[in-house]
């Protein structure tokens, strides 16, 4: 009897229990919606950045082509044929070999053969821009960690 | 009773759900593992992205001072996007006909092609269009797009017209050094490669290593187009100015002598670096597809390395070198020239069929006496003579870094094709076939105090931001330094004493002419000759070695008349372009 009374005293009313269940369900729903919203936001951002990277890569490729094109154009404009034509138009004449006189100019430094290397170009193509953490799956990451752990 | 009925109904419903669930699971498993599913999966992979073979940019080619000789130019592929909703085939055909000079009917047919997803989405109408034409198309496309819409009227449109840039090989100097460079046949697109010269020899290095890349369609997926280094760039040993000067001289003398072809090679005998190499005919490398019209035989692209010929008396330089080095003769050895020399049942005559009487070796070389040199070779002895020729590099390629190098096997005593008379005829450069490059390499030993240098044309390679210089290689010491100096002195004196047209005021030079009869099906003919000249200087410190070969000159058949002036002209320009002071100034500077 006493037990029954105690149970009755602490038992929730049915409507209260229902509200609690509904509340819990709604909480779960909100959590789910929040996670879905975050996921959507992140993946949409990643997609936008991905497209941007593609665009930038395309632009870089295009610019590299244009640089090569301009370099070739410059070489065409300064080619031996063009230069002698321009010199002729400016009134210059080719010197007759016998008419050339050798002059000693103190301090004259003769030109040096071409060096086409700049320090910035060395190792420019060594590494990938995208680190593995951005491309590997969870399983691949775990495997990698496992192998690293084993090797250590 | 009611409770039992409910229980049994629940059980039935439960069993039905279980069975349906199990059937669904089984069906799912079946679908997943069926052949169709595998095919579907494979098909879906096709749309997941594309496998693209990414080619690195082809390496450039420069002359020794860094002037670009082969680079890249941007051109465009023009196509029609068949998915474009507002496609106007008639306008597309009209504009492409007007701007790109294309056939109206063909373009119209292409432009009318229906869009079929996955099958017919984009059609290429032309390729290799220049930037100015593309600019004209872009302007027209924009102008049509800006036309105000009029109700009930369709505006003309270039909707769907697209273009994509890509690289093609370009040679800014057009014909300059064409025999050296070869060409890259870019029209073959993915299977394109270099042909002839440097482009073929170094094709793999210039091309770099292509990489297979998977590009996903899904933009969420991360992918990385590898940042590929371009192919190796090459810096050649040639000097653009010297090359141009040599080519001008070549063209002038081809016209003057009406020779069938001609070749000039200029080398630095101390290093083996080729400073210029020109062979007639030449071609505009930017129109490489015409090469078959210009060179019916592949060997005529670069005669300096791909054509063998009987060099004639220039070969006497090597016979005399062997004789002096082996001790068979000295410069003062006297030979009484009776005008004939009998060997192996044949009689050898001089170029003028005359008898020149007592002659020192200097006189033999000065008058280019075949009879004397035949005697000299007999004094050397066949075995020793051919050992020297082998040491000079004959019978094998020089290894120069140009494609298509030819060589003719050296016939030696004991070979089925060798006869006693060959020793005599070989001594004056007949009955033996060589390339100009082999002659250059062999004679570099005489000009360079006995050290024979490997001829080469690449000075350095630029790869991944680093420049690697090619080290000059000594490929042999066929003669002693003293022999080389003595012979250089002899050949300098002979030029001076005969007041050769090869002489250049202010510079002491050594050299030798050569005139070789050409073998025809009726035997050797004196009216068809190969005229040659080899010379180097300044004799006390040689900076250049020049080899000239005129094939079948028409105005005169003698090397001393047609080839020697070419040498003089080349050298007169060389000393200016290479900043070589006249001997008196140089010695004065050295003594300061």
How does pLDDT run across A1-19, given as a tens digit for each residue?
677 777 777 777 888 888 9
pLDDT tens-digit readout, B168-184: 999 999 999 999 999 99
| Rounded CA separation B84/B81 (Å) | 6
**Subunit contact A79:B176, Cβ cutoff 8 A:** yes
The angle that helices B564-577 and B240-257 make with each other, rounded to 10 degrees, is: 160
Provide, as residue numbers in chain A, all residues whose Cβ is less than 8 Å from the Cβ of B223. Answer: 130, 135
| Burial status of residue A138 (CB atoms within 10 A of its CB: 0-12, 13-18, 19 or more) | exposed
**Cα four-point dihedral sign B353, B356, B358, B363:** negative
Does A127 map to a domain? no
The answer on pLDDT for A119 being more than 60 is no
Bigger pLDDT: B15 vs A103: B15
The answer on pLDDT for B269 being more than 80 is yes
Provide, as residue numbers in chain B, all residues whose Cβ is less than 8 Å from the Cβ of A134. Answer: 222
- For residue A134, the SS3 value is helix
pLDDT score for A130: 67
pLDDT score for B423: 95
Does A111 map to a domain? no
Beta carbons within 8 Å of B355's beta carbon, 6+ residues apart = B337, B338, B339, B340
Closest by CA position to B70, among listed B195, B256, B212: B195
- For residue B74, the SS3 value is strand
pLDDT score for A122: 47
φ, ψ for residue B518 (rounded to 5)? -100, 135
Provide, as residue numbers in chain A, all residues whose Cβ is less than 8 Å from the Cβ of B582. Answer: 102
**Subunit contact B582:A124, Cβ cutoff 8 A:** no
pLDDT score for B225: 64
Question: Cα-Cα-Cα-Cα dihedral of A34, A35, A40, A45, to 10°?
Answer: 100
Contact between residue B534 and residue B547 where contact means Cβ atoms under 8 Å apart = yes
pLDDT score for B112: 87
Find which of A54, A72, A130 to mutate to test the B interface (most B CBs within 10 Å of its CB).
A72
Closest by CA position to B479, among listed B450, B518, B436, B501: B450
Helices of type H across B59-213: 89-100, 104-111, 131-145, 178-181, 197-201, 203-207
Provide, as residue numbers in chain A, all residues whose Cβ is less than 8 Å from the Cβ of B465. Answer: 117-118, 120-125
**Subunit contact B64:A114, Cβ cutoff 8 A:** yes
Closest by CA position to B186, among listed B127, B255, B252: B127
- For residue B182, the SS3 value is coil
Q: Given B74, B165, B581, which is nearest A102 (Cβ)?
A: B581
Find which of B222, B238, B457 to mutate to test the A interface (most A CBs within 10 Å of its CB).
B222
Q: Percent of chain B, pLDDT > 70? A: 97
Provide, as residue numbers in chain A, all residues whose Cβ is less than 8 Å from the Cβ of B241. Answer: 80
The answer on pLDDT for B385 being more than 90 is yes
Q: Given A118, A125, A130, which is nearest B222 (Cβ)?
A: A130
- For residue B57, the SS3 value is coil
**Cα four-point dihedral sign B31, B37, B41, B46:** negative
Closest by CA position to B432, among listed B291, B576, B538, B530: B530
Provide, as residue numbers in chain A, all residues whose Cβ is less than 8 Å from the Cβ of B462. Answer: 116-117
φ, ψ for residue B236 (rounded to 5)? -85, 165
Provide, as residue numbers in chain A, all residues whose Cβ is less than 8 Å from the Cβ of B233. Answer: 116
Q: How far does the CA of residue A19 sit from the closest CA of chain B (Å)?
A: 29
Q: Quick one: pLDDT band at residue A123, thresholds 50, 70, 90?
A: low
Does A124 map to a domain? no
Bigger pLDDT: B318 vs A148: B318
Q: Percent of chain B, pLDDT > 90? A: 68
- In the predicted model, what is the mean pLDDT of residues B516-524? 78
- In the predicted model, what is the mean pLDDT of residues B432-444? 96
**Subunit contact B219:A51, Cβ cutoff 8 A:** yes
The answer on pLDDT for B392 being more than 90 is yes
Q: What is the SS3 assignment for B433-486?
A: CECHHHHHHHHHHHHCCCCEECCECEEEEEECCEEEECCCCEEECCCCHHHHHH
| Rounded CA separation B269/B449 (Å) | 10
Closest by CA position to B324, among listed B435, B546, B481: B481
Considering only alpha carbons, which residue of chain A is nearest residue B582? A102
Q: Given B72, B459, B505, which is nearest A72 (Cβ)?
A: B72
pLDDT tens-digit readout, B292-302: 999 988 888 99
Does A39 map to a domain? yes
Instruction: Render the burial of B372-404: b for 16+ CB within 10 Å, e for the rest.
Output: bbbbbbbbbebebbbbbbebbbbbeebebbbbb
pLDDT score for B220: 61
Does A118 map to a domain? no
Contact between residue B115 and residue B77 where contact means Cβ atoms under 8 Å apart = no
Strand order in the sheet with B510-520: B273-280, B261-268, B544-551, B523-537, B510-520
Provide, as residue numbers in chain B, all residues whose Cβ is less than 8 Å from the Cβ of A72. Answer: 68, 71-73, 170, 172
Strand partners, B73: B168
Contact between residue B173 and residue B284 where contact means Cβ atoms under 8 Å apart = no
pLDDT score for A127: 53
The answer on pLDDT for B216 being more than 80 is no
Mean pLDDT, chain B, integer: 90
pLDDT score for B195: 94
Does A146 map to a domain? no
Q: Given A80, A97, A98, which is nearest B176 (Cβ)?
A: A80
Please provide the DSSP assignment of B299-332 as one string: GGS-HHHH--B--GGGGHHHHHHHHHHHTS--TT
Provide, as residue numbers in chain A, all residues whose Cβ is less than 8 Å from the Cβ of B589. Answer: 104
pLDDT score for A118: 62
- For residue B170, the SS3 value is strand
Q: Given A75, A120, A129, which is nearest B67 (Cβ)?
A: A75
Q: Percent of chain A, pLDDT > 90? A: 35
**Subunit contact B589:A54, Cβ cutoff 8 A:** no
Q: Between chain A and chain B, how many beta carbons pairs sit less than 8 Å apart?
A: 130
Q: Quick one: pLDDT band at residue B580, thresholds 50, 70, 90?
A: very high
**Subunit contact B65:A121, Cβ cutoff 8 A:** no
The answer on pLDDT for B288 being more than 80 is yes
Provide, as residue numbers in chain B, all residues whose Cβ is less than 8 Å from the Cβ of A121. Answer: 465
Find which of B49, B165, B225 to mutate to test the A interface (most A CBs within 10 Å of its CB).
B225
Q: Dmax over Cα atoms in chain A, in whole Å?
A: 137
pLDDT score for B226: 67
pLDDT score for B96: 92
Q: Dmax over Cα atoms in chain B, in whole Å?
A: 149
- For residue B537, the SS3 value is strand
| Rounded CA separation B540/B15 (Å) | 111
| Rounded CA separation B462/B62 (Å) | 11
Rg of chain B on CA atoms, in Å: 36
* Total domains in the fold of chain A: 1
| Burial status of residue A94 (CB atoms within 10 A of its CB: 0-12, 13-18, 19 or more) | exposed
- In the predicted model, what is the mean pLDDT of residues B82-107? 88
The answer on pLDDT for B91 being more than 70 is yes
* Phi-psi domain of B476 (left: phi exceeds 0; alpha: psi -120 through 50; beta: other): left
The answer to whether the peptide bond before residue B538 is cis (omega within 30 degrees of 0) is yes
Question: Cα-Cα-Cα-Cα dihedral of B357, B362, B367, B373, to 10°?
Answer: 80
Q: Given A114, A118, A134, which is nearest B222 (Cβ)?
A: A134
pLDDT score for A138: 80
Beta carbons within 8 Å of B40's beta carbon, 6+ residues apart = none
Does A17 map to a domain? yes
| Rounded CA separation B193/B191 (Å) | 6
Q: Given B220, B462, B467, which is nearest A46 (Cβ)?
A: B220
Mean pLDDT, chain A, integer: 84
DSSP structure class, residue A129: S
- In the predicted model, what is the mean pLDDT of residues B151-155? 81
Closest by CA position to B545, among listed B447, B451, B464, B450: B447
Provide, as residue numbers in chain B, all residues whose Cβ is less than 8 Å from the Cβ of A65. Answer: 72, 74, 165-167
Beta carbons within 8 Å of B592's beta carbon, 6+ residues apart = none
pLDDT score for B55: 80
Provide, as residue numbers in chain A, all residues whose Cβ is less than 8 Å from the Cβ of B224. Answer: 128-130, 135
The answer on pLDDT for A23 being more than 70 is yes
The answer on pLDDT for B211 being more than 90 is no
**Subunit contact B173:A110, Cβ cutoff 8 A:** no
Does A54 map to a domain? yes
**Subunit contact B582:A102, Cβ cutoff 8 A:** yes
- In the predicted model, what is the mean pLDDT of residues B153-164? 87
Closest by CA position to B108, among listed B121, B120, B122, B125: B125
Q: Quick one: pLDDT band at residue B523, thresholds 50, 70, 90?
A: confident
**Subunit contact B459:A129, Cβ cutoff 8 A:** no
pLDDT score for B215: 73
Beta carbons within 8 Å of B69's beta carbon, 6+ residues apart = B61, B62, B63, B171, B172, B173, B176, B177, B181, B236, B240
Considering only alpha carbons, which residue of chain B is nearest residue A82? B173
pLDDT score for A11: 75
| Burial status of residue B142 (CB atoms within 10 A of its CB: 0-12, 13-18, 19 or more) | exposed
φ, ψ for residue B335 (rounded to 5)? -125, 130
pLDDT tens-digit readout, B123-139: 899 999 998 999 999 99
**Subunit contact A117:B467, Cβ cutoff 8 A:** yes
Q: Given A64, A75, A120, which is nearest B172 (Cβ)?
A: A75
Please provide the DSSP assignment of B258-291 as one string: T-SEEEEEEEETTTTEEEEEEEES---GGGGGGH
Provide, as residue numbers in chain A, all residues whose Cβ is less than 8 Å from the Cβ of B585. Answer: 102, 104
**Subunit contact B459:A113, Cβ cutoff 8 A:** yes
| Rounded CA separation B557/B528 (Å) | 7
Domain that residue A27 falls in = 12-78
pLDDT tens-digit readout, B327-382: 999 999 999 999 999 998 899 999 888 899 999 999 999 999 999 999 999 999 99
Find which of B164, B209, B224, B586 to mutate to test the A interface (most A CBs within 10 Å of its CB).
B224
């Amino acid at each position: 009897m006493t037990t029954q009374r105690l149970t009755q005293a602490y038992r929730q009313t049915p409507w209260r229990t229902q509200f609690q269940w509904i509340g819990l369900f709604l909480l779960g729903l909100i959590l789910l919606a929040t996670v879905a919203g975050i996921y959507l936001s992140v993946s949409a951002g990643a997609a936008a950045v991905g497209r941007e990277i593609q665009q930038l890569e395309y632009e870089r490729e295009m610019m590299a082509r244009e640089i090569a094109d301009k370099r070739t154009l410059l070489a065409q404009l300064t080619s031996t044929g063009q230069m002698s034509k321009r010199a002729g138009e400016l009134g210059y004449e080719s010197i007759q070999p016998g008419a050339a006189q050798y002059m000693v100019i103190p301090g004259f430094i003769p030109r040096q053969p071409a060096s086409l290397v700049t320090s910035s170009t060395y190792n420019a193509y060594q590494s990938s821009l995208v680190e593995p953490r951005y491309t590997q799956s969870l399983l691949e990451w775990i495997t990698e960690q496992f192998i690293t752990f084993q090797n250590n | 009773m009611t409770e039992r009925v409910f229980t049994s109904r629940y059980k039935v419903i439960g069993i039905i759900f279980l069975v349906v669930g199990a059937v669904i699971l089984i069906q799912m498993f079946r679908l997943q593992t069926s052949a169709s599913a595998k095919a579907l999966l494979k098909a879906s992979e096709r749309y997941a992205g594309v496998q693209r073979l990414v080619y690195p940019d082809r390496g450039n080619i420069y002359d020794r001072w860094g002037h670009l000789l082969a680079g890249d130019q941007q051109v465009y592929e023009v196509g029609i996007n068949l998915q474009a909703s507002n496609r106007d085939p008639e306008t597309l055909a009209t504009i492409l006909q007007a701007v790109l000079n294309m056939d109206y009917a063909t373009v119209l047919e292409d432009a009318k092609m229906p869009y079929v997803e996955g099958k017919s989405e984009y059609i290429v109408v032309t390729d290799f269009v220049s930037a100015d034409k593309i600019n004209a198309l872009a302007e027209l496309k924009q102008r049509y797009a800006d036309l105000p819409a009029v109700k009930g009227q369709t505006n003309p449109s270039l909707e769907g017209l697209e273009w994509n840039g890509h690289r093609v090989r370009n040679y800014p100097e057009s014909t300059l050094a064409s025999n050296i460079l070869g060409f890259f046949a870019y029209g073959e697109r993915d299977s394109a490669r270099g042909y002839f010269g440097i482009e073929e020899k170094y094709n793999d290095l210039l091309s770099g290593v292509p990489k297979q890349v998977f590009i996903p369609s899904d933009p969420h997926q991360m992918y990385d187009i590898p940042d590929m280094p371009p192919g190796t760039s090459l810096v050649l040993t040639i000097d653009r100015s010297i090359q141009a000067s040599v080519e001008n001289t070549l063209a002038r003398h081809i016209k003057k002598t009406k020779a069938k072809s001609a070749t000039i090679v200029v080398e630095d005998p101390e290093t083996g670096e080729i400073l210029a190499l020109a062979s007639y005919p030449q071609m505009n490398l930017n129109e490489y597809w015409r090469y078959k019209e210009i060179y019916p035989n592949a060997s005529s692209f670069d005669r300096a390395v791909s054509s063998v010929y009987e060099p004639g008396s220039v070969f006497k330089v090597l016979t005399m070198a062997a004789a002096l080095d082996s001790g068979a003769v000295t410069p003062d050895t006297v030979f009484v020239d009776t005008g004939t020399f009998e060997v192996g049942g044949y009689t050898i005559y001089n170029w003028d069929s005359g008898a020149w009487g007592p002659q020192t070796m200097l006189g033999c070389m000065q008058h280019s006496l075949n009879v004397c040199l035949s005697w000299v070779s007999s004094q050397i002895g066949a075995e020793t003579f051919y050992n020297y020729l082998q040491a000079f590099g004959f019978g094998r390629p020089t290894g120069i870094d140009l494609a298509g190098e030819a060589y003719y096997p050296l016939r030696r005593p004991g070979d089925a094709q060798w006869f006693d008379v060959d020793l005599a005829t070989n001594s004056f450069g007949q009955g033996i076939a060589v390339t100009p490059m082999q002659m250059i390499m062999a004679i570099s030993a005489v000009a360079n105090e006995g050290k024979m240098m490997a001829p080469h044309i690449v000075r350095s390679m630029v790869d991944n931001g680093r420049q690697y210089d090619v080290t000059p290689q000594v490929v042999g010491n066929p003669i002693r330094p003293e022999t080389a100096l003595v012979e250089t002195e002899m050949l300098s004196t002979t030029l001076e004493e005969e007041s050769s047209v090869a002489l250049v005021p202010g510079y002491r030079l050594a050299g030798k002419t050569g005139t070789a009869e050409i073998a025809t099906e009726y035997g050797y003919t004196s009216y068809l000759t190969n005229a040659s000249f080899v010379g180097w200087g300044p004799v006390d410190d040689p900076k250049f070695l020049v080899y000239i070969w005129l094939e079948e000159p028409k105005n005169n058949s003698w090397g001393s008349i047609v080839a020697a002036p070419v040498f003089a002209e080349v050298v007169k320009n060389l000393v200016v372009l290479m900043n070589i002071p006249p001997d008196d100034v140089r010695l004065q500077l050295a003594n300061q």
